[in-house]
Amino acid sequence: MVRERSHALRRCLERVDEARERLERTGDNETAVVARNLLSAVMDLHGLALVRALILAQSGAAGDDLAQRFVEDDYVAAVLLLHGLHPEDPETRLQKKLFSMRPHWGVRGFRVELLAVERGAAKAKVHWDDAAGETERSGILREIESVLTDAAPDLDLISLEEADAGSTDARSPASTVMAQP
**CATH number of 123's domain:** 3.30.300.130
Are 72 and 94 contained in the same domain?
no
- Do residue 69 and residue 110 come from a single domain? no
Stretch 29-57: mean pLDDT, rounded? 84
**Predicted pLDDT at 1:** 43
User: What mean pLDDT is predicted for residues 113-133?
Assistant: 89
Write the CB contacts of 171 (distance below 8 Å, at least 6 apart in sequence).
161, 162, 163, 164
Per-residue pLDDT at 76: 84
CB 127 within 8 A of CB 110: yes
pLDDT band at 181 (very low <50, low <70, confident <90, very high): very low
CB-based contacts of 143: which residues, under 8 Å, 6+ apart? none
Do both 98 and 173 map to the same domain? yes
Residue 157 pLDDT more than 80?
yes
DSSP-derived letter for residue 118 is E
Q: Which of 82, 111, 136 is the last residue of a domain?
A: 82
pLDDT tens for each residue of 10-40 = 787 788 888 888 888 888 888 888 888 888 8
Task: Indicate whether 94 and 168 sit together in one domain.
Answer: yes
How many domains is the chain partitioned into structurally?
Answer: 2
